[in-house]
């Protein structure tokens, strides 16, 4: 690198993935990535996450960016962090999105000093998916043949009315669902898991809890091995869609779930 080129830092790599660099910075990063294939693969992964989030959360393009989520601030925290615990490493897969009106902002899978409730909920959703999609006879507690009972039961247990998104247009039918215990750390209460399956026996799950105490809106994307997880939260619920479908198909399914659950008017759920 010549004396006139900027130093290629983690923050600069973040800016490159987001398309936010000057011409001189972009040239320096391209030269650096050509010499460091492992970093090039990592940046390509970040760019893929950006595309996935844009595909699902385009309506959020004008939301303000929380100052604590500024990419350069996150990068500086990462640089000073050491002795990471496993939960923090798991959180490294989480990507947050909030596109500002005067300029986009995209976070990505960086290690945070502490996990937030959303990180824990995503981990719980992925773990539950990985455990139950393998089951044949016991994949769900209540089958789709008892759909009304299932939804009333789960709505009561999570203390918020929920419905089952119709994914028939995407080739998926509801298998059923189950109640999952509350995490000791997420502060969101128990969770409802709905499972769907297509003709190829591929399964996706929808993991729903009541809103977090702050009721704040959030949108994140995470990858764990072969599993993709789309997460969002608002003042009514949190929801994580998990699956290992091809990228375009996973985005389509997650977008349909997001659309149905965020547009559904609240209804009073029935007592059991």
Residue 66: per-residue pLDDT? 47
pLDDT, tens digit, 9 for 90 and up, residues 200-213: 999 999 999 999 99
Q: Where are the domains of the chain?
A: 10-96, 117-263
- pLDDT class of 238 with cuts at 50, 70, 90: very high
Q: Nearest-CA neighbor of 110 among 152, 71, 52? A: 71
pLDDT at 55: 64
Task: Give residue-wise pLDDT tens across range 176-202.
Answer: 999 999 987 778 899 999 999 999 999
Q: Give the list of residues 6+ apart from residue 110 with CB closer than 8 angstroms, or none.
A: 74, 75, 77, 78, 92
Predicted pLDDT at 59: 53
The 10s digit of each residue's pLDDT in 223-235 is 888 899 999 999 9
- Please check the confidence at residue 94 and state whether its pLDDT lies above 80: no
Reported as a single tens digit per residue, the pLDDT across 17-56 is 777 788 888 888 888 888 888 888 877 767 766 666 666 6
pLDDT of residue 91 exceeding 60: no
CA distance 154 to 94: 27
Q: Which carries the bigger pLDDT value, residue 177 or residue 87?
A: 177
pLDDT(98) > 80: no
CA 231, 233, 239, 243: dihedral to nearest 10 degrees? Answer: -10
Residue 141 contacts residue 176 (beta carbons within 8 Å) = yes
How is residue 76 annotated by DSSP?
H
Nearest to 129 by CA among 177, 97, 200: 177
Cα 64 to its chain centre, rounded Å, is: 19
Report percent pLDDT > 70 for the chain.
69
Write down the H helix ranges in 133-207: 147-158
- When computed from its CA atoms, the radius of gyration of the chain, rounded to whole angstroms, is 20
Residue 76 scores a pLDDT above 70 = no
Domain 117-263: CATH architecture, name and number where available: 2-Layer Sandwich (3.30)
Cα 155 to Cα 1, 103, 117, 120: the distances in Å are: 59, 39, 21, 21
pLDDT over 70 (residue 251): yes
How much is the mean pLDDT over the chain? 78
Looking at residue 2, its pLDDT comes to 54
Note the residue count of the chain: 272
Q: What is the pLDDT of residue 42?
A: 77
How is residue 53 written in tokens?
């989030």
pLDDT reported for residue 104 = 39
pLDDT tens digit sequence for 125-177: 999 999 999 999 999 999 999 999 999 999 999 999 999 999 999 999 999 99
Q: Model pTM? A: 0.65
């Amino acid at each position: 690198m010549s004396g006139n080129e900027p130093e290629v830092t983690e923050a600069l790599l973040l800016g490159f993935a987001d398309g936010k660099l000057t011409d001189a910075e972009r040239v320096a990063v391209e030269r650096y990535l050509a010499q460091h294939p492992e970093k090039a693969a990592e940046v390509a992964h970040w760019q893929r996450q950006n595309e996935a989030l844009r595909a699902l959360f385009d309506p959020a393009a004008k939301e303000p960016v929380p100052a604590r989520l500024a990419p350069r601030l996150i990068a500086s925290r990462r640089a000073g962090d050491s002795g990471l615990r496993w939960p923090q490493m798991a959180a490294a897969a989480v990507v947050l999105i909030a596109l500002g009106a005067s300029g986009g902002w995209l976070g990505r899978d960086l290690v945070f000093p502490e996990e937030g409730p959303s990180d824990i909920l995503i981990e719980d959703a992925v773990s539950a998916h990985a455990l139950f999609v393998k089951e044949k006879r016991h994949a769900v507690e209540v089958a789709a043949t008892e759909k009304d009972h299932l939804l009333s039961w789960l709505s009561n247990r999570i203390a918020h009315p929920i419905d089952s998104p119709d994914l028939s247009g995407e080739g998926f039918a509801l298998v059923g669902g189950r109640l999952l215990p509350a995490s000791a750390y997420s502060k969101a209460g128990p969770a409802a898991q709905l499972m769907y399956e297509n003709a190829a026996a591929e399964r996706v799950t929808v993991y729903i809890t009541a809103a977090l105490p702050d009721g704040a809106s959030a949108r994140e994307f995470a990858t764990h091995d072969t599993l993709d997880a789309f997460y969002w939260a608002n003042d009514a619920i949190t929801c994580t869609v998990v699956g290992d479908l091809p990228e375009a198909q996973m985005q389509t399914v997650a977008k349909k779930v997001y659309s149905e659950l965020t547009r559904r008017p609240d209804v009073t759920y029935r007592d059991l």
